[in-house]
Structure 1
Amino acid sequence: MAFTRLATIVSLALGLIERATCTNGKTAGNAVCCPLFDAVDFLQTNLFDGGECGEEAHSALRLTFHDAIEFSIHGGMGGGADGSILVFNATELQFHANRGIDDITSRQFPVFQALNEQSGLSGGDFVHLAGAVGTANCPGAPRLEFMLGRLAPVAPAPDLTIPEPTDTVTAILARFADAGFSPEEVIVLLSSHTIAAADDIDTTIPGTPFDSTVNTFDTQIFLEVLLKGTLFPGNDPQPGEITSPIAGEMLLQSDFLLSQDSRTACFLAVHDNQERMTTQFKAAMAKLQTLGQNTASLVDCSDVIPVPAPFPGPIKFPPSFSKADLQIACTQEAFPSLATVAGPAPTLAPVPAS
């Protein structure tokens, strides 16, 4: 009874905390977040083509990973989610794992400079705000958290801190563990590939998507990564690439190996569980985007992140495909019954560059 009364008192006290009303009429949990509403509008207009889930949104999410994962819980590496990949791009773009990042940074850097001049937004806050806003433009995505207050990066991160698609599963899991992530969290973060495309693995076919619903944040990626690979018509596979039986789609060697390895295979078994995928991804991203930061000194400004459009699902097999076309390594969980989209075998178009 005493506990019940205490819980009621705490709830009432929390209810009395007034939200800040910003000059634009919007409200935030903390007044310091108010200027970010204008920053979000600026990003949508100047980076995301008015709010599209296109190449820039995909790239912004990718950049958050390449920035933050350059960190070790044991010390001696980069500063984590500090924006060093943008601020010190002349150095970090030379890293092999950052091939293709130059397009992203060249597009983002002038937008960052403008927001830095207007509101003093640090490089780390910019990279991770842009990643959260860009992801919110994709239907089905979770509304990612955003914490404000990262200090300016002091130095570039060292090389060889970013996992690559040619790495072994053991090497990938070890690098993630060094940054503080479990094997399950590795697969959770792999969810980002549902809105990703490859520009630099095979430069002859830029913008090649990793699943057939590249502009929707969904579990389609975990279905299609299990497809038994064949060759792209007219293209030889490149290092790190396992060709997909869907024309115009690319499977990464690392993704496929993770889907088949006993340490990780069953973590991909979220095929038709959109809620589980997005909930886990949101939690893993909250951890990733504050790596190396003193979270006690950050302010929760998640209120400023747009609410994504709902998942239009359910996922389905692409036309002409079925369970018989899958290479399923996890036998502990029953594979769901999924319909197949009607029509001839698809040929996916590349994701257009902005």
Structure 2
Amino acid sequence: MSFKTILVVVTLAVVAFAAPSKHAVCSQGRVASNAACCKWFDVLDDLQTNLFDGGECGEEVHESLRLTFHDAIGFSRANPKAGGGADGSIMHFAETETNFHANLGTDDIVEIQRPFAIKHGVSFGDFIQFAGAVGVSNCGGGPRIQFLAGRSNTTFPAQDLTVPEPSDSVTKILSRMGDAGFSPNEVVALLASHSVAAQDHVDPTIHGSPFDSTFSTFDAQIFVEVLLKGTLFPGNGSNPGEVMSPIPGELRLESDAAIARDPRTACEWQSFVDNHSLMVSRFEAAMAKMAILGHNARDLIDCSEVIPVPSKAKSNSAVLPAGKTMADIEGSCRNARFPTLSTIPGPATSVAPVPPS
């Protein structure tokens, strides 16, 4: 047999015994790069229909996104006993963790989500991160967050005081987040989530009051509105973790206001005011890092293709609310001029608070 013939035979043998492709056709003809991702298309359909009201950016989305952070941040590089990171412990040990002061209000979404995870036979850790990624993709201009699957259900309760609170100082927040592996700039990026956030416990008299005036779109408005001069409290007056807001009906967190003005974070905060694309890309990167706290990415399967593609942002820049001018901006970045913004025409902006239910 000639050398050429031998080479052909060997080549054919390699082709014949090569590992089969992991690409798979899933439900409704959808294709996954890995067969293990197929079940997540079914979870997606169930979530969009039965949790997110047909794909809306509503209250369940806001709470699901919040839960991704509150589960994952139970992690410390200095103290392995602090928690296992994005491991679903807040759902496994709900009676313990949802009663931590910083986690108040998470009990409802935990109980709503748990039956979905059990129904589809996926781990709580995977489900929490998946629900958050799917939910925020429903918000206009939102991110498309990486989703890695394969977290086990082996976990232990996170310790209290691992979740920063609105009344904490910037130094305390940066220290806690640094212990979990996040830089000050990454902390600012994660706060983009407050553009679609709501509150129940800082001021319980205005249940559901948004932190900013958009509430259902993922945009840079929070990064300009938090820098406006505060003039009033929207509810029953000053509460721990709250400072004056520039807009009637809008609640401003003390920590947001402080981080926006702190020299360690002010320039990163300002950089998002007129650069929505930058804000989204850095949020996506920080969220991808947070979602695998306590895990090795190489042990997980990339199923990001299941996450829907969000609609595009209407603008790459925030605007001044009606009734406000550039003179109302408390710019705190010393290294860059504050961008010139246009103002929404019409009567002064206000947000209608939702009364307690």
TM-score (norm 1): 0.91
Q: Which residue of 2 aligns with 1:98?
A: 103
1:345 aligns with 2:344: no
SS in 1 for 2:82: coil
SS in 1 for 2:115: helix
CA offset digits 1:115-174 (Å, max 9, x no partner)? 2xxxx2000011000000001000111111100000114221111110000101110000
Equivalent-residue separation in structure 2 for 1:219 and 1:165 (angstroms): 20
CA offset digits 1:170-214 (Å, max 9, x no partner)? 100000010000111110111110110111111111111111111
Deviation at 1:17, TM superposition (A): 6.8
Aligned residues: 335
Q: Which residue of 2 aligns with 1:68?
A: 72
Q: Which runs of 5+ in 1 are unaligned?
A: 1-15
Equivalent-residue separation in structure 2 for 1:104 and 1:266 (angstroms): 34
For the 8 Å contact 2:27–2:41, the answer to whether it is kept is no
Equivalent-residue separation in structure 2 for 1:303 and 1:352 (angstroms): 39
1:32 aligns with 2:36: yes
Deviation at 1:103, TM superposition (A): 2.1
Q: Which residue of 2 aligns with 1:298?
A: 300
Deviation at 1:239, TM superposition (A): 0.5
Residues 63 and 343 from structure 1, CA distance in 2 versus in 1: closer, same or farther, beyond 3 angstroms? same
Equivalent-residue separation in structure 1 for 2:235 and 2:50 (angstroms): 37
> Among 269, 287, 291, which residue is 1:289 paired with?
291
> Among 111, 115, 124, which residue is 1:110 paired with?
115
Equivalent-residue separation in structure 2 for 1:52 and 1:123 (angstroms): 23
Deviation at 1:77, TM superposition (A): 1.1
Where does structure 1 differ by over 6 angstroms across 4 or more consecutive aligned residues? 351-354
Residues 50 and 106 from structure 1, CA distance in 2 versus in 1: closer, same or farther, beyond 3 angstroms? same
Q: Which residue of 1 aligns with 2:325?
A: 322
1:333 aligns with 2:336: yes
Q: How does 1:156-195 map to 2 (within 5 A)?
A: 156-195=157-196
SS in 2 for 1:338: coil
Deviation at 1:353, TM superposition (A): 9.7
Deviation at 1:22, TM superposition (A): 1.7
Equivalent-residue separation in structure 2 for 1:232 and 1:181 (angstroms): 32
Q: Which residue of 2 aligns with 1:280?
A: 282
Q: Which residue of 2 aligns with 1:7?
A: none
Structure 2 letter corresponding to 1:331: R
Equivalent-residue separation in structure 2 for 1:92 and 1:141 (angstroms): 29
Deviates more, 1:136-145 or 1:326-335: 326-335
Residues 40 and 352 from structure 1, CA distance in 2 versus in 1: closer, same or farther, beyond 3 angstroms? farther
Equivalent-residue separation in structure 1 for 2:234 and 2:338 (angstroms): 30
SS in 2 for 1:34: helix
Q: Which residue of 1 aligns with 2:5?
A: none
Percent identity, please. 55
SS in 2 for 1:349: coil
Equivalent-residue separation in structure 1 for 2:76 and 2:282 (angstroms): 22
Deviation at 1:305, TM superposition (A): 0.4
For the 8 Å contact 1:141–1:216, the answer to whether it is kept is yes
Structure 1 letter corresponding to 2:111: S
Structure 2 letter corresponding to 1:341: I
1:128 aligns with 2:129: yes
SS in 1 for 2:81: coil
Structure 2 letter corresponding to 1:323: M
Structure 2 letter corresponding to 1:268: W
Q: Which residue of 2 aligns with 1:84?
A: 89
For the 8 Å contact 2:228–2:329, the answer to whether it is kept is yes
Between structure 1 and structure 2, the one with the greater Rg is: 2
SS in 1 for 2:204: coil
Q: Which residue of 2 aligns with 1:213?
A: 214
Equivalent-residue separation in structure 2 for 1:76 and 1:18 (angstroms): 37
Equivalent-residue separation in structure 1 for 2:27 and 2:281 (angstroms): 32
SS in 1 for 2:126: helix
Equivalent-residue separation in structure 2 for 1:233 and 1:162 (angstroms): 25
Residues 234 and 291 from structure 1, CA distance in 2 versus in 1: closer, same or farther, beyond 3 angstroms? closer
Q: Which residue of 1 aligns with 2:48?
A: 44
Deviation at 1:301, TM superposition (A): 0.2
For the 8 Å contact 2:203–2:236, the answer to whether it is kept is no
Q: How does 1:218-297 map to 2 (within 5 A)?
A: 218-232=219-233, 235-269=236-270, 270-297=272-299
Residues 275 and 352 from structure 1, CA distance in 2 versus in 1: closer, same or farther, beyond 3 angstroms? farther
Q: Which runs of 5+ in 2 are unaligned?
A: 1-19
Equivalent-residue separation in structure 1 for 2:188 and 2:354 (angstroms): 24
RMSD: 1.8
Deviation at 1:18, TM superposition (A): 7.3
Equivalent-residue separation in structure 1 for 2:21 and 2:217 (angstroms): 36
